[in-house]
Amino acid sequence: MIKPVSCDIFCKVIDNYGDIGVTWRLARQLACEFNIVVRLWVDELNSFARLCPEADATLECQWYCGVEVRLWRENFAAVQAAELVIEAFACKLPEIYPTLMAERKTVWINLEYLSAEDWVEGCHKLPSPRPPLTRYFFFPGFTRKTGGLLIESELLARRDAFLTDAEQQRTFWQSLSLPTPAADTLKISLFAYENAALSDLLDVWAKGQQAVLCLVPEGRILPQVREYFAALKSPPLLAGLGESGYSHGNLQVCVLPFVAQERYDELLWACDVNFVRGEDSCVRAQWAGKPFVWQIYPQHDEVHREKLQAFLALYVAKLSPNAAVAMQCLWQAWNGEAISLAKAWVDFCAVYDELDLNAKKWAQGLSQNNLALNLLDFFQEIGTIHAFEIDEQ
């Protein structure tokens, strides 16, 4: 494989952690697994520092995991352009940068947001002329005709090692200052935006037959969790957990600190059901191979609903009709549809084993469609076209 020696990735943080989450993950993989010299240009380092806690948000330039992380300032000083340039989510390169690229044989890629919609296959790899350069669209996705998904080479092996090693699991729970939960406790991670259905969900867990341990990473849903427990008459605090533990009926809730990106996977692996949101955590939940519930990033024009449906259609395709409906209903209830969340949860639990098996097969099936490898193949493809065009002239 002809691979680039260097790669510049540009990321503008719009809100939340999705943009930086995806670019930081890709940057690490290109540097660590392919020995590419990677610079990650980020316009806002506070969000980066949440995903990479060793980082210092005040530094112009710093190195982590083999990646040079640079503050992307508005007055961008000229640098040598890299051989591969990734503009994440059409973030618009610095004005001067295309001129710098024109001086080199640079491949310019616009990495797009993830969607399971049909049109993605037709748009993946399309050129968009920017004379004298060409920018190419690169779409992540779930089929062979798309760019695939970000997955580190050892990820599923590491996951399986964790799941079969009680010691690793004990260490994980200890790192959260929690005892290893009893085998019959349902462990749930809850990473979510504000959600009107939250109190119904907590109610159904509290009143259910099975003990539920819900782990909530610090974030946007937390004020609502706190309000829910504040409104209860009985004292909600769990002994020993201070402000970060609550209990009601059969439900215990623990608030977790936001952890480094690599460690978030362990939380997903350790839980039986994962509530995730946005883009990157949704993909990680798929790799975890456990039943999960996705809260899609809401868009003003409601287009996210089609996106959710498109993914659901693919994901439930191999499930029995019962399980497919149960999964659809819970996801729709969690995404604001007028469906009883309590009933949807009970129905979801009733088909848990089938969903669990499906989740494992789904992860295995998708794992061969590796975004970083596809991206490098595409670099080679475009590089060959460039060379051909130069010969022709």
Q: How far apart are CA 265 and CA 359, in angstroms?
A: 15
Nearer to ligand TRH, 41 or 191 (CB): 191
Smallest distance, Å, CB 270 to ligand TRH? Answer: 13
Give, for 388, the enclosing helix (H) or strand (E). Answer: helix 371-392
Nearer to ligand TRH, 8 or 280 (CB): 280
Nearer to ligand TRH, 38 or 259 (CB): 259
Smallest distance, Å, CB 5 to ligand TRH? Answer: 27
| The residue type at 297 | Y
Buried b (16+ CB within 10 A) or exposed e, 113-145: bbbbbeebeeebbeeeeeeeeebbbbbbbbeee
Nearer to ligand TRH, 83 or 279 (CB): 279
| The residue type at 230 | A
Active site residue 60: no
Nearer to ligand TRH, 135 or 277 (CB): 277
Active-site annotation holder among 8, 43, 83, 279: 279
Smallest distance, Å, CB 115 to ligand TRH? Answer: 10
Whether residue 11 contacts residue 88, with contact meaning beta carbons closer than 8 Å, is answered with: yes
Smallest distance, Å, CB 17 to ligand TRH? Answer: 4
| Contact residues: ligand TRH, CB under 6 A | 14-19, 21, 51, 113, 191, 217, 258-259, 261, 264, 277-281, 297
Nearer to ligand TRH, 119 or 320 (CB): 119
Active site residue 200: no
Smallest distance, Å, CB 100 to ligand TRH? Answer: 27
Smallest distance, Å, CB 213 to ligand TRH? Answer: 16
Whether residue 348 contacts residue 204, with contact meaning beta carbons closer than 8 Å, is answered with: no
Question: Which residues lie closer than 8 Å to 213 by C-beta, 6 or more apart?
Answer: 181, 185, 186, 187, 188, 252, 254
Residue with tokens 């798309």: 146
Ranked by CB distance to ligand TRH, the top (closest) residue is: 18
Considering only CA atoms, give the Rg of the chain: 22
Active-site annotation holder among 8, 19, 43, 266: 19
Which DSSP category does 266 fall into? H
Which DSSP category does 237 fall into? B
Q: How far apart are CA 336 and CA 196, in angstroms?
A: 7
Sign of CA dihedral 345, 346, 350, 353: positive
Nearer to ligand TRH, 197 or 283 (CB): 283
Whether residue 27 contacts residue 38, with contact meaning beta carbons closer than 8 Å, is answered with: yes
Inter-axis angle of helices 321-334 and 352-366, to 10 degrees?
Answer: 90
Smallest distance, Å, CB 18 to ligand TRH? Answer: 2
Give, for 136, the enclosing helix (H) or strand (E). Answer: strand 133-138
Q: How far is CA 196 from the centre of its chain?
A: 23
Q: How far apart are CA 299 and CA 68, in angstroms?
A: 32
Give the catalytic positions in this structure: 19, 279
